[in-house]
Amino acid sequence: MSNDDDDDLGVLESRVSAFERALAGREPSAEEASLLQEMKEHVRALHIARGTWNAPSTFRNWNNYGGVFEPKARRPEEIESYARYKEHARREGDAAAARMTRALPAPERVQGDRSRDGD
């Protein structure tokens, strides 16, 4: 298999993908869908005949796009709206706790209640 054959197959694959992209924005007619399927089958048959269909790939660039990884996510503490929410939740939590302590009287022991004394 020569390098020209690989280039020809690459050109063919790019034309098939261009045709597929052209059909992607709308509902293809029956004839267009049939042509696309035939082209894909033809490319698949060429790959199988050349032995490149199941050839292992050496491309291992899944998450690294050739540069330094720049995280786009920010820490929650750096997001202004989240900081405002946390402050609001803290104030609401403090207020709720204060309401609860005011609402509940201190427990009083009844003179005749000996259930907690263990006697």
**Rounded distance between C-alpha atoms, residue 11 and residue 43, angstroms:** 11
Percent of the chain surpassing pLDDT 90: 7
Instruction: Tell me the average pLDDT across 63-86.
Output: 78
Domain positions in the chain are 3-50
Give the pLDDT of residue 1: 47
CA distances from 83 to 39, 73, 76, 80, 89 (A): 55, 16, 8, 5, 10
pLDDT tens, 6-37? 667 888 888 888 888 888 888 888 998 898 89
- Token code pair at residue 13: 């694959």
Instruction: Tell me the average pLDDT across 92-106.
Output: 73
End-to-end C-alpha distance for the chain, whole angstroms: 97
Residues 6+ away with beta carbon under 8 Å from 63: 69
Q: Is the pTM of this model over 0.75?
A: no
- Token code pair at residue 99: 């309401």
**Rounded distance between C-alpha atoms, residue 51 and residue 47, angstroms:** 6
Instruction: Tell me the average pLDDT across 96-100.
Output: 73
pLDDT-derived band at 38 (thresholds 50, 70, 90) equals very high
Give the residue carrying structure tokens 């050496």: 58
Three-class secondary structure of residue 49 per DSSP = helix
- Token code pair at residue 62: 């899944």
- Phi first, then psi, for residue 116 (nearest 5°) are -95, -10
Mean pLDDT taken over the chain: 77
